Amino acid sequence: MSYLLKRIAFYIFTAWAAITINFFVPRLIPGDPVQALISKERGQLNADAVHSLYVLFGLDKQQPLWQQYLDYWGQLLHGDLGLSFTFFPSPVSEVISSSLPWTLALVGITTVCSFLLGTGLGVLAGWRRGSWVDLVLPVTTFLSSVPYFWFGLIMIELLAGPDSIFPSSGGYDPGVTPGWDIDFIGSAVQHSLLPALTILISSMSGWILSMRNMMVTVSSEDYITVAHAKGLSDRRVMLGYAARNALLPNVSGFALSLGLIVGGTLLVEIVFSYPGVGFQLFQAVGAKDYPLMQGIFLIITLSVLAANFIADLAYLVLDPRTRKEG
């Protein structure tokens, strides 16, 4: 279990580091963009809101740094991320909690699906290496180099249209009211098809390629030769030996590149005006809504950490060598 404890300690440390970075970034950078915004909105902000923005962005220059840091933490622990300027006067935490489920559903599900599908196809491509399957590789190389959001534009151009079943924007039909009923869920699923397909195709290619190469690498290990020498069936050697072992590095690669992937997939939301965190980040950047930007960064980081932790658990289950410690 000491492996698990070490990982948990690491994630706590990383969460702390991310929050601390969030604390320092606005303080290190010259100019007070937030100050300017506050002055502009002066009339509409109440004293509490102004104070919380002061604490978040270090505008209170009289306080010593450590005092600022403590106040900052105190405020975060109360869930107070300040007020959003774009969605004035909603608090940032409220804004994010309305968009987060959309992103978790879209990006979460498609990322996992793309990893599973890509890995599966990569197993076949690696095992049938040297056959016609290799012809797929140039296509996947190209697809994995395309920016996700641009691919989204192409998908809209090609597949969406007045008489297509794929809506090109939004998270659900404006006609239905959000709620847990068939109409709404059906509409939400329909709206997520095209963005999901976009993310799936462009991120899957990378997994196909890396799993294929891992299969090829693992295939020349001694234990694979032994498996062949034992006369095991092709399927058994491919799945039980080669793929099973090639999966290990791919899972840790998945964990480590989650940060990169999530960054890219969020952009897809922009193209589809999907009501998730990525689209909000886009709006926040356009409106220079710093509290919202910082809040989104924190939430994304924490979600990625959580996802990383789950991937770690999967690794723990998959590799008996990590289980032995402790």
Partner 1 sequence: MAISTVDLQAAAGEAAPSPRPAKRQKFRFISNGKTLAGLIILGFYVLLAIFGPILSPYDPDARGSDLISPPTSAHWFGTTHLGQDIFSQVLSGARGVVYVGLLAGVVATVLAVIIGVSSGYLANSGGEALSALSNVFLVIPALPLIIIVASILPSVSNTVIGLVIGLTSWAWGARVLRAQTLSLRGRDYVDAAKATGESTWRIIFFELLPNLTAVIASGFVGTVIFAVLSEITLAFIGVSDPTDWNWGTILFWAQSQQALAQGAWWWFVPAGLAIAILGTALSLLNFGIDEIVNPRLRSAGRIKGKTVRMRIGFTPVLGKDNR
Partner 2 sequence: MIEPLIEIKSLNVDYGLGDEAVHAVRDVTLTLHRGEVLGLAGESGSGKSTLAYGMTRLLPPPGVVAGGEVIYHDPERGPYDVLSLTNSELREFRWAETSIVFQGAMNSLNPVHRIGSQLTDAIKAHDPRGSRQAREARARELLNLVGIPGDRMESYPHQLSGGMRQRVMIGMALALEPKVVIMDEPTTALDVVMQRQILGELVQLRERLGFSVLFITHDLSLLVEFSDRIAIMYGGRIVEQAPAKQIYTDSLHPYSAGLLGSFPALRGPKRELTGIPGSPPDLRAMPTGCAFHPRCPKSFEPCAQEIPVLGVPDAPGGSDRTVACWLHPVR
Site for partner 2 in 194-233 (CB under 8 A): 220-223, 225-233
5 binds partner 1 (CB under 8 A): no
Candidates 110, 119, 192, 250; binder of partner 1 (CB under 8 A) is 250
Tell me which of partner 2, partner 1, none is bound by residue 19, counting a contact when its beta carbon lies within the kind-specific cut-off of 5 to 8 angstroms: none
> Which residues inside 196-235 make contact with partner 1, applying CB under 8 A?
205-207, 209-210, 213-214, 216-217, 219-220, 224-225, 227-229
**Interacting residue with partner 1 among 76, 113, 133, 248 (CB under 8 A):** 248
Rounded Cα distance, 72 and 58, in Å? 9
Q: Which residues contact 95 (CB under 8 A, 6 or more apart)?
A: 84, 86, 87, 280, 292, 295
Q: Considering the rule CB under 8 A, would residue 103 count as an interface residue with partner 2?
A: no
Q: Which of 112, 67, 106 is nearest to 204 (CA)?
A: 112
Partner whose binding site includes residue 223, from partner 2, partner 1, none (CB under 5 to 8 Å by kind)? partner 2
233 binds, among partner 2, partner 1, none (CB under 5 to 8 A by kind): partner 2
Q: Among 65-73, 78-86, 96-104, 124-132, which window interacts with partner 1 (CB under 8 A)?
A: 124-132
Query: 83: helix, coil or strand?
Result: strand
- Enumerate long-range contacts of 95-98, CB under 8 Å, 24 or more apart: 95/280, 95/292, 95/295, 96/277, 96/280, 96/292, 96/295, 96/296, 96/299, 98/275
Question: Quick check: 325 binds partner 1 (CB under 8 A)?
Answer: no
Distance from the first to the final alpha carbon of the chain: 5
